[in-house]
């Protein structure tokens, strides 16, 4: 009798730090993770031809921006394949995309003027909800659809939280989602709703959870 081959489910995930050499793999994962999400469908007008190209262009430009700013990026590897990624914005970054002129120009040329304008407005509204004191941001996180529902998203988020705890400059973590199906998952991880952003006929939720810096947690009473 032939031996049964191990499935992907049997293989142990490994957390890795990413650099710009992982750009193409990360772009593919995020494209597949986001292209069917209502937020991206609204921002980049999925009813108009060229939607996939606009999503790809936006993800490509965002990755270039975050790698260029030396922001933390981590991934989950399974059997030497990258299956999930997350990008973490520093708490003191408070990135204003409207001031990133070269990024805006590339976005207009690749994603189009209307999509760029919608994305900038969306980013501005998220920025207006960010709490004080400053918090870490999770602008991009995705698990490839083939590897979803295996706990990799929770593992990735737990790792992000641990990295944030190691940074004394932030006291919280902010992310957003336009998919209400994810709210239960984020709430189970300690997130609460900061506010909502109206995008067409649905709402995008901006979520926050406290993160205790390790240096403060270790301080004796």
Q: Does 100 fall in a domain?
A: yes
The pLDDT of residue 215 is 55
Q: What is the CATH number of the domain that holds 166?
A: 3.40.630.30
**Listed residue (13, 56, 57) closest to 151, CA to CA:** 13
pLDDT in tens, 110-132: 899 999 999 999 988 988 888 77
**Average pLDDT, integer, range 92-109:** 80
Enclosing H/E stretch for 54: helix 51-68
**Average pLDDT, integer, range 161-165:** 90
Q: Does 55 fall in a domain?
A: yes
Question: Domain range spanning residue 88?
Answer: 13-216
Q: Does 41 fall in a domain?
A: yes
Number of folded domains that form the chain: 1
| Confidence class for position 204, pLDDT limits 50, 70, 90 | very high
**Average pLDDT, integer, range 68-83:** 93
**Listed residue (57, 70, 63, 53) closest to 26, CA to CA:** 63
Q: Does 186 fall in a domain?
A: yes
Q: Does 6 fall in a domain?
A: no
Residue 116 contacts residue 59 (beta carbons within 8 Å):
no
Q: Does 101 fall in a domain?
A: yes
Q: Does 5 fall in a domain?
A: no
């Amino acid at each position: 009798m032939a031996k049964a081959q191990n499935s992907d489910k049997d293989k142990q995930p490994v957390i890795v730090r990413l650099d710009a050499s992982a750009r193409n793999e990360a772009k593919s994962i995020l494209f597949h993770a986001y292209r069917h999400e209502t937020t991206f469908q609204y921002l980049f007008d999925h009813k108009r031809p060229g939607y996939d190209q606009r999503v790809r262009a936006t993800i490509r430009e965002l990755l270039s921006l975050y790698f260029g700013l030396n922001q933390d990026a981590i991934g989950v590897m399974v059997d030497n394949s990258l299956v999930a990624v997350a990008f973490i914005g520093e708490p003191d970054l408070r990135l204003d995309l409207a001031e990133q002129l070269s990024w805006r120009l590339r976005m207009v040329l690749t994603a189009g003027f209307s999509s760029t304008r919608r994305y900038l407005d969306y980013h501005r509204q998220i920025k207006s909800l960010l709490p004080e004191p400053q918090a870490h941001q999770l602008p991009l996180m995705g698990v490839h659809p083939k590897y979803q529902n295996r706990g990799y998203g929770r593992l990735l988020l737990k790792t992000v939280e641990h990295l944030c705890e190691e940074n004394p400059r932030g006291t919280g973590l902010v992310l957003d989602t336009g998919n209400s199906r994810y709210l239960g998952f984020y709430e189970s991880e300690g997130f609460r709703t900061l506010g909502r952003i109206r995008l067409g006929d649905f709402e995008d939720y901006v979520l926050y959870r406290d993160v205790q810096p390790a240096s403060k947690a270790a301080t004796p009473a």
